[in-house]
Amino acid sequence: MIIVTIVSLVSNSLRNATFSRNNAQAASYAQAATEWLRTQRDNNIAVFLTNVSTTSWCFKDLSWSISGACIESENIPGTPFLRQGNFSTTLSGGKTLITADVVVSWNDSQGEHVVTNSTNFTDWRQR
């Protein structure tokens, strides 16, 4: 009975450690995408606005190459993670406001997990 309890505790500890590691890595991938988006906006706001007019992008490799929702085969290379950007654009006080939700998801034996990073972008040159 004691051995079963110890094995169960070790198994739970390993599962929790794996989840924590994956959760931290997913948060890092989401933050990297948000910073990349910020750079894209700063480099060329017109191109950025054109790209985010498409409401979903799969950011497998941080490029504007895969429009639409991610599918299972579009994981970040060498990882179990899918990274998708979802965009909405509104006008507020004469300024364009872009809401970007970067969603990183993965599946394991406990099911599907999701980390979301939400950011608002504007054209900082607009006054």
> Who wins on pLDDT, 15 or 25?
25
Per-residue pLDDT tens for 24-36?
999 999 999 999 9
Q: Which residues contact 103 (CB under 8 A, 6 or more apart)?
A: 30, 83, 84, 85, 86, 114, 115, 116
Per-residue pLDDT tens for 55-78?
999 999 999 999 999 998 999 999
Using CA atoms, how far apart are residues 33 and 36, in angstroms rounded to an integer? 5
Per-residue pLDDT tens for 70-116?
998 999 999 999 999 999 999 888 888 999 999 999 999 889 999 99
Cα–Cα distance list, 25 to 4, 30, 36, 56, 106 (Å): 32, 9, 16, 22, 11
- State the pLDDT at residue 1: 86
